[in-house]
Amino acid sequence: MNVAISTSQSRRGISRLKLTRGERRKLLVGLAFISPWLVGFFVFLLYPILYSLQLSFTYYTGFGVPLDIGWDNYRMMMNDDLFWKSLVNTIYYTGLSIPVGMIVAMLLALAMNQNVKEIALYRAAFYLPSLLPLFAVSFIFIALLDPRRGIVSRFLSWFGVPTIDWFGDPDVAKIALVILAQFGAGQMALIYLAGLKAIPLSLYDAAEMDGAGMWRKFTNVTIPLMTPVILYNVILGISAGLQVFTQAYIITDGGPANATTFYVFYLYNNAFRYSQFGYASAMAWILFLISFVLAILVFKFASKRVHYDLS
């Protein structure tokens, strides 16, 4: 009896999987509409990803046929001092730029959240620098921080600060690039502003009735309810930090003394300067694994610290 019932249920399940003529027609029409996206996904995203995985096990200069060398690229990476140097530089830059960027963006968001008449103008002024292309900002930054003729150096000299070789000193170059990254803090600040607008004013009123001052309201109301937005910006910051490239390419070319040779910059050099496409592909997959592990750690750390509701 049970066998007969299960057989009839499986037949009904199979019949439900069969599409009618009208359903097949709707499916084909739907696939036709999304076909440009499907072609773009398979041709320009999925295929390059899989092909780079294949190349990571080969020696390939961009010409001829890739030569299969197994795990040699990954073994070479472990003994490559510049690989480790670029990884340390990238982790240093990411670890410094994320907290600095979050503080700057939060301060901008709090300023943009003030109830003043000209607030729309101020919001536009804070956000506009983040719309500038990064390569253009890099050239502007070169002029601003020029140790001899730059505006910043002249301004600091009025206060007796000695001339700083921002891009020629290995101890300062990465810090200068972190400062440069704050030109784009307006984009993160806009996300923070949206989070601030979502916090009910009644919670601040209740905190004031309990005797909370401005700082207590910020730490006990604003920060806990902003944790989902903070988590989102941390993930974006990690992604941007691990892929930092343009600033080092335009301003310092990896110098001085490889102080700004970041991971993606070294990957680019291996691929397009040294014609080591197999080695560069292996580096790309190591970067993917590092990003994946960091994302897991961040979400695990934030699982009990991020508040998604007001309860």
Task: Report the alpha-carbon distance of residue 194 to residue 264 in Å, rounded.
Answer: 32
Q: Is the pLDDT of residue 4 over 50?
A: no
Q: Two tokens at 29?
A: 């029409």
Q: What is the pLDDT of residue 311?
A: 54
Residue recorded with tokens 């984009």? 187
pLDDT (mean) for 242-260: 94
Report the range out of 159-173, 206-220, 251-265 with the highest average pLDDT: 251-265
The domain defined by 79-302 folds into MetI-like fold (1.10.3720)
| pTM of the predicted model as reported, rounded to 2 decimal places | 0.87
Q: What is the pLDDT of residue 17?
A: 62
pLDDT (mean) for 170-182: 92
> Are the CB atoms for 189 and 128 separated by under 8 Å?
no
Q: Is the pLDDT of residue 193 over 50?
A: yes
Task: Report the alpha-carbon distance of residue 228 to residue 217 in Å, rounded.
Answer: 18
Task: Report the alpha-carbon distance of residue 147 to residue 9 in Å, rounded.
Answer: 79
Least confident of 77-86, 113-122, 166-175: 113-122
Beta strands in the chain (DSSP E): 58-59, 67-68
- Biggest CA–CA distance in the chain, Å, is 95
Q: What is the pLDDT of residue 19?
A: 83
| pLDDT confidence band for 304 (50 / 70 / 90) | confident
Query: Count of CB atoms within 10 A of residue 131's CB?
Result: 9
Q: What is the pLDDT of residue 13?
A: 47
- Higher local confidence (pLDDT), 148 or 48: 48
Read off the pLDDT of residues 94-114 as tens digits, 9 standing for 90 and up.
999 999 999 999 999 999 998
